[in-house]
Structure 1
Protein backbone atom coordinates (compact mmCIF):
# COMPACT_ATOMS: atom_id res chain seq x y z
CA UNK A 1 0.00 0.00 0.00
CA UNK A 2 2.81 2.33 0.86
CA UNK A 3 4.54 1.33 -2.39
CA UNK A 4 1.60 2.42 -4.50
CA UNK A 5 1.42 5.75 -2.72
CA UNK A 6 5.09 6.39 -3.37
CA UNK A 7 4.67 5.37 -7.00
CA UNK A 8 1.73 7.76 -7.49
CA UNK A 9 3.66 10.59 -5.87
CA UNK A 10 6.63 9.82 -8.11
CA UNK A 11 4.47 9.90 -11.25
CA UNK A 12 2.95 13.25 -10.24
CA UNK A 13 6.38 14.68 -9.60
CA UNK A 14 7.67 13.47 -12.97
CA UNK A 15 4.60 14.95 -14.71
CA UNK A 16 5.10 18.28 -12.97
CA UNK A 17 8.76 18.34 -14.04
CA UNK A 18 7.77 17.58 -17.65
CA UNK A 19 5.09 20.31 -17.57
CA UNK A 20 7.59 22.87 -16.29
CA UNK A 21 10.05 21.78 -18.90
CA UNK A 22 7.48 22.09 -21.68
CA UNK A 23 6.47 25.53 -20.47
CA UNK A 24 10.06 26.64 -20.40
CA UNK A 25 10.64 25.12 -23.81
CA UNK A 26 7.63 26.88 -25.30
CA UNK A 27 8.69 30.23 -23.87
CA UNK A 28 11.97 30.25 -25.68
CA UNK A 29 12.44 32.49 -28.72
CA UNK A 30 12.05 30.16 -31.70
CA UNK A 31 11.32 30.59 -35.35
CA UNK A 32 9.28 27.42 -35.70
CA UNK A 33 6.90 25.47 -33.48
CA UNK A 34 6.99 21.76 -32.97
CA UNK A 35 4.39 19.56 -34.60
CA UNK A 36 2.68 18.97 -31.27
CA UNK A 37 2.58 22.66 -30.52
CA UNK A 38 1.17 23.42 -33.96
CA UNK A 39 -1.47 20.73 -33.53
CA UNK A 40 -2.38 21.96 -30.07
CA UNK A 41 -2.50 25.59 -31.15
CA UNK A 42 -4.61 24.84 -34.24
CA UNK A 43 -6.98 22.71 -32.18
CA UNK A 44 -7.41 25.40 -29.56
CA UNK A 45 -7.94 28.05 -32.28
CA UNK A 46 -10.54 25.89 -34.04
CA UNK A 47 -12.39 25.29 -30.76
CA UNK A 48 -12.25 29.02 -29.94
CA UNK A 49 -13.62 29.85 -33.41
CA UNK A 50 -16.53 27.43 -32.94
CA UNK A 51 -17.25 28.80 -29.46
CA UNK A 52 -17.00 32.41 -30.67
CA UNK A 53 -19.84 32.07 -33.21
CA UNK A 54 -22.70 31.40 -30.73
CA UNK A 55 -21.20 33.86 -28.28
CA UNK A 56 -21.11 36.57 -30.94
CA UNK A 57 -24.60 35.63 -32.16
CA UNK A 58 -26.00 35.82 -28.61
CA UNK A 59 -24.21 39.10 -27.96
CA UNK A 60 -25.60 40.54 -31.24
CA UNK A 61 -29.16 39.46 -30.32
CA UNK A 62 -29.01 41.13 -26.92
CA UNK A 63 -27.42 44.21 -28.47
CA UNK A 64 -30.23 44.37 -31.07
CA UNK A 65 -32.85 43.95 -28.36
CA UNK A 66 -31.36 46.84 -26.40
CA UNK A 67 -31.24 48.92 -29.58
CA UNK A 68 -34.90 48.11 -30.34
CA UNK A 69 -35.85 49.14 -26.80
CA UNK A 70 -33.98 52.43 -27.21
CA UNK A 71 -35.60 53.06 -30.61
CA UNK A 72 -39.04 52.31 -29.10
CA UNK A 73 -38.43 54.74 -26.23
CA UNK A 74 -37.20 57.40 -28.63
CA UNK A 75 -40.23 56.79 -30.86
CA UNK A 76 -42.58 57.21 -27.90
CA UNK A 77 -40.87 60.47 -26.94
CA UNK A 78 -41.10 61.72 -30.54
CA UNK A 79 -44.79 60.77 -30.72
CA UNK A 80 -45.47 62.62 -27.50
CA UNK A 81 -43.63 65.70 -28.76
CA UNK A 82 -45.42 65.48 -32.11
CA UNK A 83 -48.78 65.28 -30.32
CA UNK A 84 -47.92 68.36 -28.25
CA UNK A 85 -46.78 70.17 -31.39
CA UNK A 86 -50.03 69.35 -33.22
CA UNK A 87 -51.99 70.54 -30.18
CA UNK A 88 -50.05 73.81 -30.13
CA UNK A 89 -50.61 74.28 -33.88
CA UNK A 90 -54.35 73.63 -33.44
CA UNK A 91 -54.57 76.01 -30.47
CA UNK A 92 -52.64 78.64 -32.42
CA UNK A 93 -55.04 78.32 -35.36
CA UNK A 94 -58.04 78.56 -33.04
CA UNK A 95 -56.60 81.64 -31.36
CA UNK A 96 -55.83 83.19 -34.75
CA UNK A 97 -59.40 82.60 -35.96
CA UNK A 98 -60.78 83.87 -32.66
CA UNK A 99 -58.61 86.97 -32.84
CA UNK A 100 -59.64 87.70 -36.44
CA UNK A 101 -63.30 87.28 -35.51
CA UNK A 102 -62.97 89.61 -32.52
CA UNK A 103 -61.09 92.15 -34.65
CA UNK A 104 -63.80 92.08 -37.31
CA UNK A 105 -66.46 92.59 -34.63
CA UNK A 106 -64.48 95.51 -33.20
CA UNK A 107 -64.19 97.05 -36.67
CA UNK A 108 -67.91 96.56 -37.26
CA UNK A 109 -68.74 98.14 -33.90
CA UNK A 110 -66.72 101.23 -34.78
CA UNK A 111 -68.03 101.50 -38.36
CA UNK A 112 -71.81 101.39 -37.77
CA UNK A 113 -73.55 104.22 -35.94
CA UNK A 114 -76.96 104.68 -34.37
CA UNK A 115 -76.91 101.55 -32.25
CA UNK A 116 -75.47 100.29 -28.99
CA UNK A 117 -73.39 97.13 -29.55
CA UNK A 118 -73.86 94.31 -27.07
CA UNK A 119 -71.01 91.89 -27.58
CA UNK A 120 -71.72 88.25 -26.78
CA UNK A 121 -70.29 84.78 -27.21
CA UNK A 122 -72.02 81.68 -28.55
CA UNK A 123 -72.41 79.05 -25.81
CA UNK A 124 -74.40 76.37 -27.64
CA UNK A 125 -76.09 75.44 -30.88
CA UNK A 126 -79.41 73.64 -31.26
CA UNK A 127 -79.21 70.27 -33.03
CA UNK A 128 -82.99 69.82 -32.96
CA UNK A 129 -83.60 72.84 -35.19
CA UNK A 130 -81.03 71.81 -37.81
CA UNK A 131 -78.50 74.35 -36.53
CA UNK A 132 -80.93 77.24 -36.99
CA UNK A 133 -80.82 78.37 -33.36
CA UNK A 134 -77.88 79.39 -31.17
CA UNK A 135 -77.66 80.46 -27.54
CA UNK A 136 -75.56 83.45 -26.50
CA UNK A 137 -74.29 84.43 -23.05
CA UNK A 138 -76.10 87.80 -22.83
CA UNK A 139 -79.70 88.41 -21.78
CA UNK A 140 -82.09 90.98 -20.35
CA UNK A 141 -79.59 91.94 -17.65
CA UNK A 142 -77.31 93.14 -20.46
CA UNK A 143 -80.03 94.98 -22.39
CA UNK A 144 -80.88 92.20 -24.86
CA UNK A 145 -84.50 92.01 -26.00
CA UNK A 146 -86.47 89.93 -28.47
CA UNK A 147 -86.31 90.90 -32.18
CA UNK A 148 -82.96 92.67 -31.90
CA UNK A 149 -80.69 92.06 -34.89
CA UNK A 150 -77.59 89.91 -34.36
CA UNK A 151 -74.50 90.38 -36.53
CA UNK A 152 -70.85 89.35 -36.85
CA UNK A 153 -67.99 91.23 -38.45
CA UNK A 154 -69.06 89.88 -41.86
CA UNK A 155 -72.76 90.70 -41.69
CA UNK A 156 -76.14 89.89 -40.20
CA UNK A 157 -76.75 86.34 -38.96
CA UNK A 158 -80.25 86.57 -37.46
CA UNK A 159 -82.32 88.07 -34.68
CA UNK A 160 -82.97 87.47 -30.99
CA UNK A 161 -85.93 85.10 -30.73
CA UNK A 162 -86.26 85.00 -26.94
CA UNK A 163 -84.30 86.60 -24.11
CA UNK A 164 -84.00 85.41 -20.53
CA UNK A 165 -82.13 87.16 -17.73
CA UNK A 166 -78.61 85.94 -18.59
CA UNK A 167 -78.85 84.16 -21.95
CA UNK A 168 -80.72 84.58 -25.22
CA UNK A 169 -81.78 82.40 -28.14
CA UNK A 170 -80.95 83.65 -31.63
CA UNK A 171 -82.84 82.56 -34.74
CA UNK A 172 -80.39 82.40 -37.64
CA UNK A 173 -81.21 83.63 -41.13
CA UNK A 174 -81.47 80.06 -42.42
CA UNK A 175 -84.48 79.63 -40.12
CA UNK A 176 -86.35 82.74 -41.32
CA UNK A 177 -89.73 82.51 -43.09
CA UNK A 178 -92.49 84.98 -43.99
CA UNK A 179 -93.34 85.51 -40.33
CA UNK A 180 -89.75 86.69 -39.74
CA UNK A 181 -89.21 88.56 -42.97
CA UNK A 182 -86.71 91.42 -43.22
CA UNK A 183 -87.23 94.63 -45.18
CA UNK A 184 -84.17 95.15 -47.38
CA UNK A 185 -82.80 97.37 -50.11
CA UNK A 186 -80.38 96.47 -52.90
CA UNK A 187 -77.43 98.73 -53.58
CA UNK A 188 -77.41 99.06 -57.37
CA UNK A 189 -74.67 101.34 -58.69
CA UNK A 190 -76.30 102.50 -61.95
CA UNK A 191 -79.72 103.42 -60.54
CA UNK A 192 -80.91 106.53 -58.70
CA UNK A 193 -83.36 104.57 -56.56
CA UNK A 194 -82.32 101.34 -54.91
CA UNK A 195 -84.74 98.44 -55.44
CA UNK A 196 -86.37 97.06 -52.30
CA UNK A 197 -87.89 93.82 -51.15
CA UNK A 198 -88.21 91.31 -48.31
CA UNK A 199 -86.16 88.33 -47.18
CA UNK A 200 -88.93 85.73 -46.90
CA UNK A 201 -87.12 82.44 -46.37
CA UNK A 202 -84.12 80.26 -46.99
CA UNK A 203 -83.47 77.76 -49.78
CA UNK A 204 -81.67 74.73 -48.31
CA UNK A 205 -80.67 73.31 -51.69
CA UNK A 206 -78.71 76.38 -52.80
CA UNK A 207 -77.86 77.65 -49.27
CA UNK A 208 -79.34 81.01 -50.23
CA UNK A 209 -81.74 83.53 -48.73
CA UNK A 210 -84.91 84.11 -50.74
CA UNK A 211 -85.53 87.76 -51.58
CA UNK A 212 -88.89 88.84 -53.05
CA UNK A 213 -88.53 92.14 -54.91
CA UNK A 214 -91.27 94.69 -54.30
CA UNK A 215 -91.58 95.69 -57.95
CA UNK A 216 -91.55 93.19 -60.81
CA UNK A 217 -89.54 95.45 -63.12
CA UNK A 218 -86.78 96.04 -60.57
CA UNK A 219 -83.40 95.60 -62.16
CA UNK A 220 -80.75 93.98 -59.97
CA UNK A 221 -77.45 92.41 -60.92
CA UNK A 222 -75.30 89.60 -59.68
CA UNK A 223 -73.11 90.60 -56.67
CA UNK A 224 -75.32 93.60 -55.82
CA UNK A 225 -75.18 94.19 -52.07
CA UNK A 226 -78.32 93.52 -49.99
CA UNK A 227 -78.69 95.47 -46.72
CA UNK A 228 -81.44 96.06 -44.18
CA UNK A 229 -83.60 99.04 -45.12
CA UNK A 230 -84.64 100.05 -41.60
CA UNK A 231 -88.33 100.15 -42.63
CA UNK A 232 -90.74 98.77 -40.07
CA UNK A 233 -88.64 99.93 -37.13
CA UNK A 234 -87.36 96.44 -36.28
CA UNK A 235 -83.77 96.63 -37.50
CA UNK A 236 -81.55 99.61 -38.18
CA UNK A 237 -80.70 100.36 -41.79
CA UNK A 238 -77.42 99.44 -43.40
CA UNK A 239 -76.84 96.00 -41.86
CA UNK A 240 -75.13 93.91 -44.51
CA UNK A 241 -77.04 90.72 -45.30
CA UNK A 242 -75.51 89.28 -48.48
CA UNK A 243 -75.01 89.52 -52.21
CA UNK A 244 -77.27 88.64 -55.14
CA UNK A 245 -76.46 85.30 -56.77
CA UNK A 246 -79.23 85.15 -59.36
CA UNK A 247 -82.74 86.49 -60.05
CA UNK A 248 -85.71 84.52 -61.39
CA UNK A 249 -89.47 85.19 -61.80
CA UNK A 250 -91.60 83.57 -59.10
CA UNK A 251 -93.81 80.59 -59.91
CA UNK A 252 -96.83 82.82 -60.57
CA UNK A 253 -94.98 85.41 -62.68
CA UNK A 254 -96.11 88.22 -60.39
CA UNK A 255 -92.73 89.24 -59.01
CA UNK A 256 -89.05 88.36 -59.05
CA UNK A 257 -87.23 86.21 -56.52
CA UNK A 258 -83.53 86.75 -55.95
CA UNK A 259 -81.19 84.22 -54.38
CA UNK A 260 -78.90 85.93 -51.86
CA UNK A 261 -75.65 84.47 -50.56
CA UNK A 262 -75.29 85.44 -46.86
CA UNK A 263 -72.21 87.53 -46.11
CA UNK A 264 -71.73 85.90 -42.70
CA UNK A 265 -71.00 82.24 -42.08
CA UNK A 266 -74.14 80.83 -40.49
CA UNK A 267 -72.48 77.59 -39.46
CA UNK A 268 -69.28 78.72 -37.70
CA UNK A 269 -69.27 81.61 -35.26
CA UNK A 270 -67.99 82.16 -31.75
CA UNK A 271 -68.61 85.87 -31.14
CA UNK A 272 -71.54 88.06 -32.16
CA UNK A 273 -72.97 91.54 -31.66
CA UNK A 274 -76.56 92.18 -30.61
CA UNK A 275 -77.72 95.43 -32.23
CA UNK A 276 -79.61 97.60 -29.77
CA UNK A 277 -81.21 100.40 -31.77
CA UNK A 278 -80.68 103.82 -30.27
CA UNK A 279 -84.04 105.57 -30.17
CA UNK A 280 -83.81 109.38 -30.58
CA UNK A 281 -84.72 111.46 -27.57
CA UNK A 282 -87.55 114.06 -27.84
CA UNK A 283 -84.95 116.86 -28.09
CA UNK A 284 -83.20 115.06 -30.97
CA UNK A 285 -86.52 114.48 -32.77
CA UNK A 286 -87.43 118.17 -32.39
CA UNK A 287 -84.01 119.19 -33.71
CA UNK A 288 -84.40 116.92 -36.75
CA UNK A 289 -87.86 118.39 -37.47
CA UNK A 290 -86.49 121.92 -37.32
CA UNK A 291 -83.68 121.02 -39.73
Structure 2
Protein backbone atom coordinates (compact mmCIF):
# COMPACT_ATOMS: atom_id res chain seq x y z
CA UNK A 1 0.00 0.00 0.00
CA UNK A 2 2.65 2.56 0.81
CA UNK A 3 4.45 1.65 -2.41
CA UNK A 4 1.30 2.34 -4.36
CA UNK A 5 0.90 5.83 -2.93
CA UNK A 6 4.55 6.58 -3.58
CA UNK A 7 4.15 5.65 -7.24
CA UNK A 8 0.95 7.70 -7.44
CA UNK A 9 2.71 10.82 -6.16
CA UNK A 10 5.49 10.29 -8.68
CA UNK A 11 3.01 10.00 -11.50
CA UNK A 12 1.25 13.24 -10.38
CA UNK A 13 4.60 15.03 -10.24
CA UNK A 14 5.54 13.91 -13.72
CA UNK A 15 2.15 14.93 -15.12
CA UNK A 16 2.46 18.36 -13.47
CA UNK A 17 5.91 18.88 -14.94
CA UNK A 18 4.63 17.92 -18.40
CA UNK A 19 1.68 20.34 -18.08
CA UNK A 20 4.00 23.13 -16.88
CA UNK A 21 6.39 22.60 -19.79
CA UNK A 22 3.47 22.62 -22.17
CA UNK A 23 2.16 25.83 -20.73
CA UNK A 24 5.60 27.44 -20.94
CA UNK A 25 5.94 26.36 -24.53
CA UNK A 26 2.48 27.61 -25.28
CA UNK A 27 3.20 31.03 -23.71
CA UNK A 28 6.47 31.39 -25.59
CA UNK A 29 4.80 30.74 -28.88
CA UNK A 30 4.30 33.85 -31.01
CA UNK A 31 0.61 34.69 -31.10
CA UNK A 32 -1.39 37.61 -32.39
CA UNK A 33 -3.90 37.48 -29.53
CA UNK A 34 -3.73 36.48 -25.92
CA UNK A 35 -6.04 34.01 -24.32
CA UNK A 36 -8.78 35.36 -22.10
CA UNK A 37 -7.05 34.24 -18.83
CA UNK A 38 -3.83 35.97 -19.91
CA UNK A 39 -5.74 39.06 -20.98
CA UNK A 40 -7.62 39.11 -17.64
CA UNK A 41 -4.46 38.74 -15.60
CA UNK A 42 -2.65 41.37 -17.66
CA UNK A 43 -5.50 43.90 -17.42
CA UNK A 44 -5.92 43.29 -13.72
CA UNK A 45 -2.20 43.73 -13.10
CA UNK A 46 -2.11 46.96 -15.14
CA UNK A 47 -5.10 48.39 -13.28
CA UNK A 48 -3.54 47.58 -9.92
CA UNK A 49 -0.21 49.16 -11.00
CA UNK A 50 -2.05 52.30 -12.14
CA UNK A 51 -3.99 52.45 -8.90
CA UNK A 52 -0.82 52.19 -6.82
CA UNK A 53 1.50 54.31 -8.99
CA UNK A 54 -0.64 57.46 -9.08
CA UNK A 55 -0.72 58.03 -5.29
CA UNK A 56 2.93 57.02 -5.11
CA UNK A 57 3.85 59.61 -7.74
CA UNK A 58 1.71 62.23 -5.99
CA UNK A 59 3.35 61.59 -2.63
CA UNK A 60 6.80 61.59 -4.19
CA UNK A 61 5.97 64.86 -6.01
CA UNK A 62 4.69 66.42 -2.76
CA UNK A 63 7.90 65.66 -0.89
CA UNK A 64 9.93 66.87 -3.86
CA UNK A 65 7.98 70.15 -3.88
CA UNK A 66 8.52 70.54 -0.13
CA UNK A 67 12.23 70.00 -0.62
CA UNK A 68 12.30 72.53 -3.48
CA UNK A 69 10.39 75.01 -1.31
CA UNK A 70 12.87 74.53 1.52
CA UNK A 71 15.78 75.03 -0.86
CA UNK A 72 14.11 78.18 -2.20
CA UNK A 73 13.65 79.50 1.35
CA UNK A 74 17.31 78.87 2.19
CA UNK A 75 18.44 80.51 -1.05
CA UNK A 76 16.16 83.50 -0.41
CA UNK A 77 17.51 83.83 3.13
CA UNK A 78 21.09 83.75 1.87
CA UNK A 79 20.31 86.31 -0.84
CA UNK A 80 18.72 88.65 1.73
CA UNK A 81 21.80 88.30 3.90
CA UNK A 82 23.99 89.18 0.94
CA UNK A 83 21.75 92.15 0.12
CA UNK A 84 22.12 93.41 3.70
CA UNK A 85 25.87 92.97 3.45
CA UNK A 86 25.83 94.80 0.12
CA UNK A 87 23.84 97.70 1.62
CA UNK A 88 26.25 97.90 4.57
CA UNK A 89 29.22 97.74 2.20
CA UNK A 90 27.69 100.54 0.10
CA UNK A 91 27.21 102.67 3.23
CA UNK A 92 30.80 101.98 4.34
CA UNK A 93 32.12 102.90 0.90
CA UNK A 94 30.11 106.13 0.91
CA UNK A 95 31.34 106.99 4.41
CA UNK A 96 34.95 106.27 3.44
CA UNK A 97 34.55 108.29 0.26
CA UNK A 98 33.23 111.29 2.17
CA UNK A 99 35.96 110.94 4.78
CA UNK A 100 38.58 110.65 2.05
CA UNK A 101 37.26 113.78 0.32
CA UNK A 102 37.25 115.66 3.63
CA UNK A 103 40.82 114.57 4.41
CA UNK A 104 41.91 115.58 0.90
CA UNK A 105 40.36 119.00 1.46
CA UNK A 106 42.21 119.27 4.77
CA UNK A 107 45.50 118.31 3.10
CA UNK A 108 44.91 120.94 0.43
CA UNK A 109 44.10 123.43 3.17
CA UNK A 110 47.28 122.57 5.05
CA UNK A 111 49.37 123.29 1.97
CA UNK A 112 47.93 126.81 1.80
CA UNK A 113 48.53 127.68 5.46
CA UNK A 114 51.78 129.57 5.13
CA UNK A 115 51.63 131.87 8.15
CA UNK A 116 50.44 129.40 10.77
CA UNK A 117 50.91 125.75 11.69
CA UNK A 118 47.88 123.42 11.55
CA UNK A 119 47.46 120.58 14.06
CA UNK A 120 45.08 117.94 12.78
CA UNK A 121 42.55 116.49 15.26
CA UNK A 122 39.34 114.45 15.38
CA UNK A 123 36.12 115.22 17.20
CA UNK A 124 35.50 112.55 19.84
CA UNK A 125 32.47 114.00 21.63
CA UNK A 126 30.13 116.87 22.38
CA UNK A 127 28.90 118.42 25.57
CA UNK A 128 25.67 116.41 26.12
CA UNK A 129 23.90 119.34 27.80
CA UNK A 130 24.44 121.59 24.78
CA UNK A 131 24.29 119.18 21.88
CA UNK A 132 21.20 120.73 20.32
CA UNK A 133 22.77 124.19 20.41
CA UNK A 134 26.03 123.05 18.78
CA UNK A 135 28.13 124.98 21.30
CA UNK A 136 30.93 122.69 22.48
CA UNK A 137 32.88 119.77 20.98
CA UNK A 138 35.77 117.73 22.33
CA UNK A 139 38.80 116.84 20.20
CA UNK A 140 41.49 114.19 20.71
CA UNK A 141 44.47 116.55 20.96
CA UNK A 142 45.60 118.46 24.03
CA UNK A 143 48.45 120.34 25.64
CA UNK A 144 50.92 117.52 24.94
CA UNK A 145 50.64 118.29 21.21
CA UNK A 146 51.02 122.04 21.70
CA UNK A 147 47.37 123.07 21.77
CA UNK A 148 46.64 126.13 23.90
CA UNK A 149 43.61 128.07 24.98
CA UNK A 150 42.04 130.47 22.40
CA UNK A 151 43.68 128.78 19.40
CA UNK A 152 41.37 128.91 16.33
CA UNK A 153 39.82 125.67 15.08
CA UNK A 154 38.89 125.18 11.42
CA UNK A 155 37.64 122.54 9.01
CA UNK A 156 38.31 122.29 5.29
CA UNK A 157 35.35 124.62 4.68
CA UNK A 158 35.92 127.32 7.27
CA UNK A 159 36.36 128.52 10.84
CA UNK A 160 34.25 126.74 13.46
CA UNK A 161 35.48 128.22 16.76
CA UNK A 162 38.34 128.35 19.24
CA UNK A 163 39.87 126.23 21.98
CA UNK A 164 38.07 126.97 25.25
CA UNK A 165 40.26 124.85 27.53
CA UNK A 166 42.82 122.08 27.25
CA UNK A 167 43.90 118.96 29.08
CA UNK A 168 46.84 116.70 28.41
CA UNK A 169 45.24 114.64 25.69
CA UNK A 170 41.95 116.39 24.87
CA UNK A 171 40.65 119.90 24.34
CA UNK A 172 37.22 121.53 24.41
CA UNK A 173 36.31 123.71 21.44
CA UNK A 174 33.74 126.50 21.69
CA UNK A 175 31.93 126.90 18.38
CA UNK A 176 31.10 130.21 16.74
CA UNK A 177 27.43 129.33 17.15
CA UNK A 178 27.75 129.64 20.93
CA UNK A 179 25.93 132.73 22.24
CA UNK A 180 28.66 133.55 24.74
CA UNK A 181 29.31 137.27 25.21
CA UNK A 182 33.08 136.60 25.08
CA UNK A 183 32.79 134.59 21.86
CA UNK A 184 33.78 137.31 19.37
CA UNK A 185 35.84 137.29 16.21
CA UNK A 186 37.31 140.27 14.38
CA UNK A 187 36.28 139.84 10.72
CA UNK A 188 36.41 141.56 7.36
CA UNK A 189 34.21 141.48 4.28
CA UNK A 190 36.20 140.85 1.10
CA UNK A 191 35.34 143.02 -1.91
CA UNK A 192 36.44 146.05 -3.89
CA UNK A 193 36.56 147.77 -0.54
CA UNK A 194 37.34 145.98 2.71
CA UNK A 195 34.90 146.55 5.55
CA UNK A 196 35.57 145.43 9.09
CA UNK A 197 33.19 144.17 11.74
CA UNK A 198 32.92 141.69 14.54
CA UNK A 199 31.17 138.32 14.80
CA UNK A 200 28.93 138.61 17.86
CA UNK A 201 26.31 135.95 18.29
CA UNK A 202 24.34 133.45 16.27
CA UNK A 203 20.77 133.70 14.97
CA UNK A 204 19.24 130.26 15.49
CA UNK A 205 16.19 130.93 13.35
CA UNK A 206 18.22 131.62 10.20
CA UNK A 207 21.28 129.64 11.40
CA UNK A 208 23.46 132.65 10.59
CA UNK A 209 26.37 134.30 12.34
CA UNK A 210 25.85 137.98 13.18
CA UNK A 211 28.57 140.29 11.86
CA UNK A 212 28.00 143.58 13.68
CA UNK A 213 29.54 147.09 13.74
CA UNK A 214 29.78 147.42 9.96
CA UNK A 215 29.92 151.08 8.87
CA UNK A 216 26.50 152.39 7.89
CA UNK A 217 27.71 153.67 4.51
CA UNK A 218 29.27 150.31 3.54
CA UNK A 219 27.88 148.86 0.29
CA UNK A 220 27.74 145.11 0.80
CA UNK A 221 26.18 142.50 -1.50
CA UNK A 222 24.90 139.02 -0.90
CA UNK A 223 27.53 136.33 -1.46
CA UNK A 224 30.58 138.38 -0.43
CA UNK A 225 33.14 136.36 1.52
CA UNK A 226 33.66 137.00 5.23
CA UNK A 227 37.01 136.04 6.76
CA UNK A 228 39.08 136.74 9.84
CA UNK A 229 40.91 140.06 9.77
CA UNK A 230 43.73 139.09 12.12
CA UNK A 231 43.20 142.36 14.03
CA UNK A 232 41.81 140.80 17.17
CA UNK A 233 45.11 139.42 18.39
CA UNK A 234 43.80 135.84 18.59
CA UNK A 235 42.90 134.61 15.10
CA UNK A 236 45.28 134.86 12.13
CA UNK A 237 43.96 136.59 9.03
CA UNK A 238 42.21 135.07 6.01
CA UNK A 239 40.46 132.19 7.77
CA UNK A 240 37.16 131.74 5.93
CA UNK A 241 34.08 132.30 8.10
CA UNK A 242 31.28 132.29 5.53
CA UNK A 243 29.34 134.41 3.05
CA UNK A 244 26.97 137.33 3.43
CA UNK A 245 23.27 136.42 3.21
CA UNK A 246 21.62 139.71 4.20
CA UNK A 247 22.54 143.14 5.59
CA UNK A 248 20.24 145.16 7.85
CA UNK A 249 20.68 148.40 9.86
CA UNK A 250 21.16 147.96 13.59
CA UNK A 251 18.54 149.10 16.07
CA UNK A 252 20.00 152.61 16.37
CA UNK A 253 20.68 153.07 12.65
CA UNK A 254 24.34 153.97 13.20
CA UNK A 255 25.90 150.75 11.89
CA UNK A 256 24.84 147.66 9.94
CA UNK A 257 24.60 143.98 10.82
CA UNK A 258 25.27 141.24 8.27
CA UNK A 259 23.76 137.78 8.49
CA UNK A 260 26.59 135.42 7.52
CA UNK A 261 26.02 131.85 6.38
CA UNK A 262 28.83 129.77 7.96
CA UNK A 263 31.17 128.00 5.60
CA UNK A 264 31.43 125.07 8.01
CA UNK A 265 28.62 122.82 9.22
CA UNK A 266 28.59 123.23 13.01
CA UNK A 267 26.53 120.09 13.52
CA UNK A 268 28.38 117.59 11.32
CA UNK A 269 31.99 117.96 12.41
CA UNK A 270 34.47 115.08 12.37
CA UNK A 271 37.95 116.19 11.30
CA UNK A 272 39.34 119.59 12.30
CA UNK A 273 42.58 121.55 12.41
CA UNK A 274 43.76 123.60 15.33
CA UNK A 275 45.63 126.67 14.09
CA UNK A 276 48.88 127.55 15.79
CA UNK A 277 49.77 131.06 14.75
CA UNK A 278 53.39 131.43 13.61
CA UNK A 279 53.45 135.18 14.15
CA UNK A 280 53.88 136.35 17.74
CA UNK A 281 50.47 137.46 18.90
CA UNK A 282 50.11 140.27 21.45
CA UNK A 283 48.70 139.61 24.86
CA UNK A 284 45.27 141.01 25.55
CA UNK A 285 46.60 143.03 28.48
CA UNK A 286 49.24 144.62 26.21
CA UNK A 287 46.54 145.66 23.73
CA UNK A 288 44.46 147.21 26.53
CA UNK A 289 47.54 149.02 27.81
CA UNK A 290 48.27 150.46 24.37
CA UNK A 291 44.69 151.76 24.11
CA UNK A 292 44.97 153.41 27.54
CA UNK A 293 48.29 155.04 26.56
CA UNK A 294 46.62 156.47 23.44
CA UNK A 295 43.91 158.00 25.62
C-alpha separation between the residues in 1 aligned to 2:73 and 2:12? 63
Q: Taking structure 1 as reference, are residues 157 and 40 closer, same or farther at Cα in structure 2, changes over 3 Å only?
A: same
In 2, are the aligned partners of 1:208 and 1:262 still within 8 Å (CA)? yes
CA offsets, 1:211-231, max 9 Å, x none? 214212221111100001111
In 1, are the aligned partners of 2:209 and 2:262 still within 8 Å (CA)? yes
What is the CA-CA distance between 1:122 and the residue it aligns to? 1.2
C-alpha separation between the residues in 2 aligned to 1:95 and 1:27? 85
Residue aligned with 2:177, SS:
helix
C-alpha separation between the residues in 1 aligned to 2:15 and 2:67? 53
What is the CA-CA distance between 1:36 and the residue it aligns to? 2.6
Q: Which residue of 2 aligns with 1:61?
A: 62
Q: Taking structure 1 as reference, are residues 55 and 6 closer, same or farther at Cα in structure 2, changes over 3 Å only?
A: farther
What is the CA-CA distance between 1:147 and the residue it aligns to? 1.1
What is the CA-CA distance between 1:11 and the residue it aligns to? 8.6
**Residues 267-278 of structure 1 correspond to what in structure 2 (within 5 A)?**
267-278=267-278
**Residues 1-291 of structure 1 correspond to what in structure 2 (within 5 A)?**
21-129=22-130, 130=132, 131-188=134-191, 191=192, 193-280=193-280
What is the CA-CA distance between 1:12 and the residue it aligns to? 9.1
TM-score using structure 2 length = 0.84
What is the CA-CA distance between 1:18 and the residue it aligns to? 5.6
TM-score using structure 1 length = 0.85
What is the CA-CA distance between 1:280 and the residue it aligns to? 4.1
C-alpha separation between the residues in 2 aligned to 1:159 and 1:238? 15
Q: How many residues align?
A: 277
What's the C-alpha RMSD, in Å, of the aligned pairs?
A: 2.8
Name structure 1 gaps, 5 residues minimum: 282-291
